Every structure is written in C-alpha cells, then in structure tokens.
Amino acid sequence: MEKIPETRLEQELEELEKTRDEERKELKIQKIEKKTKEKDEQMERLKEEKEKKKIIEDIEEAEMREKVKKEKPRAGFFKKLKEKIVTKRISAEKFEKLFWNLEVVLLENNVAVEVIDKIKEDLKKELVDTPIPRGKVLPKIENSLKNSIESLFDVEKINLLSNIRKKKEKGEPYVICFVGVNGSGKTTTIAKLANLFKKEGLLPVIAAGDTFRAAAIDQLEEHAKKVGVKVIKHDYGADSAAVAFDAIKYAKAKAMDVVLIDTAGRQHSNINLMEELAKVIRVSKPDITIFIGESITGNDCVEQAKEFSKVTNVNGIILSKADVDDKGGAAISISYVTKKPILYLGTGQGYDDLTEFDSRLIVKSLGLEG
C-alpha cells in the first residue's frame, strides 16, 4: 500500500477544515437570516395590532364624547358618574406610594431629611383627598411641590450692599467676618466679594485672619492683588483677633467702606480653633457673619452651617461651586435648616463669578417654573 506523504495529508486536512468552516458560516448566516425574518414578521404583527387598538380606542373615545354630549341635559342624574370620569382623588395610601418615589429622588439629590419631611407635610395638605381634574394631577403635584420649595426660603432677607451704604453714611466701615471649613472656597469667595464691592464704588480692605496655615496669607494676598484690594496681615501664627482689630483700625483711618475678615478654616469640633474664632468675633464685633460652604458637599454643608450657627451666630450664607452642583440639595435645604438667607452663589472660577441668590432660579433649575 502506497504511503501518503505527510505534507499532502496536512494539505487535505487543512482543506477539509476550511470546508467545514465555510459550512458552519453558511449555516450561521442562514440561522441569522431566519431569526431576522421571524423578528420582522413579529414586529409587523405588533404594529398591525397597535394600529387596530388605536382605531378601536379612537372610536370608543368618539362614542363616549357623543354620549356625554347627548346626556348633558341630564347632568343631575349623571353627576356622580361624570365626577368619576373627570376627577380623581389621591388617597392617603396612594399619596404614600407617590411620595416614596419623590423622597428617593430628594435623598439622592442630598436634600436634608427634615426638609423632605416638611415637603411631605405640605404636599399631603394640598393633595390628599382633594378632587383633582383628570389630566391635571401631575400639574397639581408640580405646583404644590413648587410652592413647598419656595416656602423653604421664607427667611429674613439681607441686602448686603444696601447695609454697607447705610453704615458708610454714618462714616463707619461695615465689618464682615467669614467662617467655614477648609477647602470650602472661602478665600476665593472673599476676593470675589471684594471685587464686587469695588465695582459698586465701595472701598474694601481684607484682614488676613487665617494665621493658622502658612500658605493661607500668601494665597489671600495673591487673590487680593489680582482684584486690587489692600490686605492687612501679621506673621504666621499671630493672633487672628489682633489682625482683625488692626484691619478695622486701618479702615477707619483711611475712610474705607468694608472690612472683610478671613478666618482659619476649621471643623466645629476643633475646640481651640472655635475659641479663637469666638475671640475674633468678640474683638471685631462684625455687622454680619457669613458662612461659606461648598454647594457640592450637600448634606455635609448643611450640617456644617448648622453647627457654626450654634457657635458663631451666622447671619447669612454663601454657597461656592454652585455651578458644578448638579444636585442642588444644599441650596434647597440650608436656609430652612439654619433659618438664615443665602446671599450669593459662587458660579465659576473668575472673580466676577458671584451671583446674587434668587430662589426662583433654584426652583427653575429643578424643572419647576418659578
């Protein structure tokens, strides 16, 4: 028997493998084509069924309209039936189910729990067992939610520029003390406010009261230089209250209009720094103490403001980085929790990126027209 060369055998095996691969591919293509055809036929059937269903619904709706039109003179008899058709009530049980979905969204957006409870009570009063025209349920809920959120900002307003000018008329500088934790954008916000005051024709001076961090004074000076504002400073580790005192003294001597006192960023749990802050406030006797917090930190920002309010009697709030806050929980919650107004929002990195707070814009950003 003739022996087949190994190379020839390998060639035959290779050709056989190729043939099998081609057959497999062909079979696969046929299966795909079959499935595609079946899917197309199924889609066509569903489309036809949908069209038939719509035609039936249109006919039924037309018949119902005609029936209601004919029975209009007998309104008294059909009053209850008509009410069932054209009105809807939200029961307490249904409300709980509806609000659960809203509550999840609010929690995901960093809204404080006590604020959620307040919104829930407001909506319950407005919606539960109240006749609502069919088709108007969603607009009614949205309007009730809008009213509830707007009411969160019902705190005493502060017109900072107006108050500064009133003090200026008396020949005295208006003193502002800024508090907050490290990294909240406090130094940049102070520079933004100084820039705003200058543009309003006022003369500001900044007190470099953060003597706790070595780089803080340099950082503040750099910002102040860019906006063209004088900085009163002492050495690193100096008494912050003494810096504030000297800045106020300088403002009075030079007929300056506003003193902006920076303080060391601190956690409310740091007793030594909180005592130092209390001393700064005792010595400087500020006309207003402003808490600066990062909007994007949500509930943390709200809790910080609440704790600082207990220790330093915060009068107003500025939220930094509001332009990158896609949740808005801090802005919604902070005024209600602290009972203090939001004065400005930081809306960018430039010195002009400071916007006067308007609650209507917050409501609008939530998709609820204010």
DSSP codes joined into one string, 9-29: HHHHHHHHHHHHHHHHHHHHH
Task: Choose one of 134, 152, 170: the last residue of a domain.
Answer: 152
User: Mean pLDDT throughout 50-72?
Assistant: 54
Residue 86 has pLDDT above 50, yes or no: no
**Is residue 61, in this structure, part of any structural domain at all?**
no
Q: At 53, is the pLDDT very low, low, confident or very high (cuts 50, 70, 90)?
A: low
CATH code at position 313: 3.40.50.300
Q: Are residues 188 and 250 in the same domain?
A: yes
Q: Are residues 260 and 284 in the same domain?
A: yes
Please indicate whether residue 127 or residue 11 has the higher confidence score (pLDDT). Answer: 127
Amino acid 221 reads E
Reported as a single tens digit per residue, the pLDDT across 16-44 is: 777 777 777 777 777 777 777 777 777 77
**Is residue 62, in this structure, part of any structural domain at all?**
no
Reported as a single tens digit per residue, the pLDDT across 314-339 is: 999 999 988 877 667 888 889 999 99
**Is residue 12, in this structure, part of any structural domain at all?**
no
Q: Are residues 135 and 181 in the same domain?
A: no
Q: Are residues 95 and 241 in the same domain?
A: no
Q: Are residues 106 and 173 in the same domain?
A: no
Q: Are residues 179 and 306 in the same domain?
A: yes
Q: Domain residues for 173?
A: 160-357
**Is residue 277, in this structure, part of any structural domain at all?**
yes
Task: Choose one of 98, 124, 152: the last residue of a domain.
Answer: 152
Residue 193 has pLDDT above 80, yes or no: yes
Q: Are residues 340 and 206 in the same domain?
A: yes
**Is residue 304, in this structure, part of any structural domain at all?**
yes
Reported as a single tens digit per residue, the pLDDT across 335-362 is: 999 999 999 999 888 999 999 998 888 7
Q: Are residues 268 and 341 in the same domain?
A: yes
Q: Are residues 119 and 176 in the same domain?
A: no
Q: Are residues 240 and 327 in the same domain?
A: yes
Domain count, the chain: 2
Q: At 128, is the pLDDT very low, low, confident or very high (cuts 50, 70, 90)?
A: confident
Quote the mean pLDDT of the chain: 82
**Is residue 264, in this structure, part of any structural domain at all?**
yes
Using DSSP's 3-state secondary structure scheme, residue 290 falls into strand
CATH code at position 121: 1.20.120.140
Q: Are residues 167 and 144 in the same domain?
A: no
Residue 293 has pLDDT above 70, yes or no: yes
**Is residue 9, in this structure, part of any structural domain at all?**
no
DSSP of 217-285:
HHHHHHHHHHHT-EEE---TT--HHHHHHHHHHHHHHTT-SEEEEEE----TT-HHHHHHHHHHHHHH-
Q: Are residues 127 and 173 in the same domain?
A: no
129 Cβ contact partners less than 8 Å away, ≥ 6 residues apart: 89, 90, 91, 92
Residue 79 has pLDDT above 90, yes or no: no
pTM over 0.85: no
Task: Choose one of 152, 187, 211: the last residue of a domain.
Answer: 152
**Is residue 329, in this structure, part of any structural domain at all?**
yes
